[in-house]
């Protein structure tokens, strides 16, 4: 088991105070397009319009600021592994606080994410074959250099920062009956689960994995974190194994009511629909919650539903390919 402290709703409120106005309170926009398809009242939580164009800004900045507080302003170098969005967010957060940052990514990470990491002044190591390899390299580097490793999901302050999305949903749509959230490492789902467990306990939370990578579907069936064999996906930010002992697993196990999967075709369809009907750019991982609604994987009929659109960092060539019919 992990020796990390489990975050609580008090940590989510502390994160909101710590973040202040340096992250955006993103729009919750009605979607007549999805509402007509779902036969429900569907709203889009637009974290794709967040600072660094993904929800990851919240957890990264909360973790960095909490680290600075604990070390009385003498924080060490921060290190992470990332498929791209958390790396960009941590590079931005470290830049805000004047910290050195090293980011390990797969060599196949989207160039738009890698370029942004470089722009924020981080030391980018885009050399690993897979995300799992990048994570191993980042942890070894942090241990060797005495740096602080900040996981993209298995970290109490990252989870608490992500949970502020849940508070905003409840405040903007207090009668939401279903909240649909992408599920990769589980940091966002865990944070929203903690927030809604306290603030909207009657709401049903649906986590969405891609068929190419199902660590939670597999692990929840077996009652424990289970190593999977994953495949590449358009939703690159959601693929990979969970860290052994990740605290996101028991939180998801407790607070997420249902986990569904979507196909690559479902993801492409959602990206096209968001672009064509809502004029929103969404990367694959950012579109999977909408994909689940489009594919009929969520019981939306007559329900008020909040759907997370979590990121917009997609390479142009990949976006163009996804938008072609």
Q: The tokens 């009668």 sit on which residue?
A: 175
> In terms of domains, do 125 and 241 share one?
no
Q: Which two tokens stand for residue 163?
A: 């949970």
> In terms of domains, do 215 and 315 share one?
yes
In a domain, 186, yes or no: yes
pLDDT in tens, 203-235: 999 999 999 999 999 999 999 999 999 999 999
In a domain, 27, yes or no: yes
Domain endpoint, select from 90, 124, 149: 149
pTM of the shown model = 0.96
**How sure is the predictor about 324, in pLDDT bands with cuts at 50, 70 and 90?**
confident
Rounded Cα gap, residues 184 and 82, in angstroms: 12
φ, ψ (nearest 5 deg) of residue 180: -110, 125
Question: Quick check: 51 and 24 in contact, CB under 8 A?
Answer: yes
> In terms of domains, do 238 and 314 share one?
yes
Q: For position 322, what pLDDT does the model report? A: 82
Q: Tell whether the model's pLDDT for residue 1 goes beyond 60.
A: no
Domain endpoint, select from 125, 149, 173: 149
Q: For position 4, what pLDDT does the model report? A: 85
> In terms of domains, do 122 and 234 share one?
no
> In terms of domains, do 118 and 201 share one?
no
pLDDT in tens, 280-292: 999 999 999 999 9
Rounded Cα gap, residues 241 and 238, in angstroms: 10
In a domain, 140, yes or no: yes
**How sure is the predictor about 2, in pLDDT bands with cuts at 50, 70 and 90?**
low
Question: Quick check: 104 and 141 in contact, CB under 8 A?
Answer: yes
Domain endpoint, select from 129, 149, 169: 149
Q: For position 318, what pLDDT does the model report? A: 84
> In terms of domains, do 117 and 24 share one?
no
> In terms of domains, do 206 and 252 share one?
yes
Neighbours of 204 (CB within 10 A): 18
Q: At what angle do helices 187-199 and 156-172 cross, to 10 degrees?
A: 50
In a domain, 3, yes or no: no
- Which residues have C-beta within 8 Å of that of residue 126, sequence separation ≥ 6? 104, 105, 106, 107, 109, 114
Rounded Cα gap, residues 63 and 59, in angstroms: 6
Rounded Cα gap, residues 121 and 98, in angstroms: 10
Dihedral sign of CA atoms 140, 243, 199, 207 in order: positive
Q: Helix or strand or coil: residue 243?
A: coil
> In terms of domains, do 127 and 208 share one?
no
Question: Quick check: 274 and 46 in contact, CB under 8 A?
Answer: no
> In terms of domains, do 45 and 164 share one?
yes
Q: Which two tokens stand for residue 168?
A: 């905003």
The mean pLDDT of 25-47, rounded to a whole number, is 98
Question: Quick check: 303 and 41 in contact, CB under 8 A?
Answer: yes
317, 311, 307: which is closest to 83 by C-alpha? 311
Q: Tell whether the model's pLDDT for residue 194 goes beyond 50.
A: yes
CATH of the domain at 141: 3.40.50.1100
Question: Quick check: 140 and 170 in contact, CB under 8 A?
Answer: no
In a domain, 2, yes or no: no
In a domain, 16, yes or no: yes
> In terms of domains, do 106 and 241 share one?
no
In a domain, 1, yes or no: no
DSSP 180-237: EEE-SSSHHHHHHHHHHHHH-TT-EEEEEEETTB-HHHHHHHHTS---------S-GG
Q: For position 320, what pLDDT does the model report? A: 87
> In terms of domains, do 79 and 33 share one?
no
The mean pLDDT of 32-50, rounded to a whole number, is 98
> In terms of domains, do 77 and 104 share one?
yes
Question: Quick check: 243 and 295 in contact, CB under 8 A?
Answer: no
Q: Helix or strand or coil: residue 163?
A: helix
In a domain, 4, yes or no: no
Question: Quick check: 73 and 87 in contact, CB under 8 A?
Answer: no
DSSP 81-121: E-SSHHHHHHHHHHHHHT--EEEEEETTS-HHHHHHHHHTT
Q: Which two tokens stand for residue 252?
A: 């998801």
Residue-range definition of the domain harbouring residue 145:
56-149
Per the structure, the count of domains in the chain is 2
């Amino acid at each position: 088991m992990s020796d990390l402290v489990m975050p609580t709703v008090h940590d989510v409120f502390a994160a909101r105070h710590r973040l202040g106005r340096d992250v955006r309170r993103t729009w919750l926009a009605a979607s007549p397009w999805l509402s007509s398809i779902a036969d429900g009242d569907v709203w889009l939580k637009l974290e794709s319009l967040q600072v660094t164009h993904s929800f990851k800004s919240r957890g990264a900045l909360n973790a960095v600021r909490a680290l600075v507080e604990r070390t009385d302003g003498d924080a060490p170098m921060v290190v992470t592994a990332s498929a791209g969005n958390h790396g960009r967010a941590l590079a931005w957060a470290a830049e805000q606080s004047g910290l050195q940052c090293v980011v390990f990514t797969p060599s196949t990470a989207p160039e738009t994410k890698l370029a942004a990491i470089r722009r924020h002044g981080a030391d980018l190591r885009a050399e690993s074959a897979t995300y799992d390899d990048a994570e191993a390299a980042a942890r070894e580097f942090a241990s060797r250099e005495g740096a602080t490793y900040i996981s993209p999901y298995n970290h109490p302050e990252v989870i608490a920062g992500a949970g502020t999305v849940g508070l905003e949903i409840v405040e903007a749509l207090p009668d939401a009956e279903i909240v649909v959230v992408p599920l990769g490492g589980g940091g966002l789902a865990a944070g929203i689960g903690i927030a809604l467990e306290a603030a909207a306990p009657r709401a049903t939370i649906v986590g969405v994995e891609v068929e190419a990578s199902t660590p939670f579907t597999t692990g929840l069936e077996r009652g424990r974190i289970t190593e999977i064999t994953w495949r590449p996906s358009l939703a690159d930010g959601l693929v990979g194994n969970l860290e052994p002992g990740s605290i996101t697993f028991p939180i998801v196990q407790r607070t997420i009511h249902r986990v569904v999967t979507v196909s690559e075709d479902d993801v492409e369809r959602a990206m096209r629909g968001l672009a064509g009907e809502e004029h929103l750019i969404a990367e694959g991982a950012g579109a999977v919650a909408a994909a689940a609604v489009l594919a009929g994987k969520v019981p939306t009929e007559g329900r008020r539903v909040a759907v997370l659109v979590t990121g917009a960092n997609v390479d142009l060539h990949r976006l163009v390919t996804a938008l072609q019919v």
